[in-house]
Amino acid sequence: MSLLEPIAAPPDPAARAGFVACKSEDDIARLLLRPHFPPDREILLLAGFDAYARLVRMERAEGDASGRCVIPPGCWIRLLGRGIARVVMAHNHPSGAPWPSDADRRCTEEATLFLRTLGIELADHLIFVERGHFSFRTAGWI
């Protein structure tokens, strides 16, 4: 090992491309979603928008005892019964690591398929940390 070698493997290039710094966040990320995430526990938000990109409803799920967020069926039922055309999923990583876990990727794939079956688009899945957020859409994973 030399001083020039990285200590850990860097994230793959698509993941690196998916990171958006706080100063570059759009209004939805910065003003609508970011204020809902506490620094000490994981929270998941589902934001539903109509065909005119107007926010119709937001649903919130708290992390369970393991710290993982599970989307209860009731959240989907309350969100989707309102003429939703597009959904943005967002959650935070209190650890400060913005990169999605395997569970995050699986959850995104499952939500995409579920919503597509209903004719609804998963617009993005954002993972917030203090210095910015990771966007599945920006990384090209949605």
Query: DSSP letters along 20-61, please?
Result: EEGGG--HIIIIIIGGG--SSS-EEEEEEE-TTS-EEEEEEE
Name the burial class of residue 32, with classes exposed (0-12), middle (13-18) and buried (19+) by CB atoms within 10 angstroms of its CB.
middle
Alpha helices by DSSP H, 1-142 = 13-17, 27, 73-80, 102-117, 136-139
Whether 64 and 44 have beta carbons less than 8 Å apart is answered as no
Classified by CATH at the fold level, domain 13-139 comes out as Cytidine Deaminase; domain 2 (3.40.140)
Each domain of the chain, given as residue ranges in start order, spans: 13-139
Copy the structure tokens of residue 72: 């209860």
Distance between CA 68 and CA 39 in Å, rounded? 15
Distance between CA 116 and CA 44 in Å, rounded? 20
Distance between CA 30 and CA 78 in Å, rounded? 24
pLDDT at position 3, please?
Answer: 47
Distance between CA 119 and CA 80 in Å, rounded? 11
Rounded to two decimals, what is the model's pTM? 0.85
pLDDT in tens, the chain (142 residues): 444 545 555 555 555 789 999 999 999 999 999 999 998 889 999 999 999 999 999 999 886 655 566 788 889 999 998 789 999 999 999 989 999 988 899 989 999 999 999 999 999 999 999 999 999 999 999 8
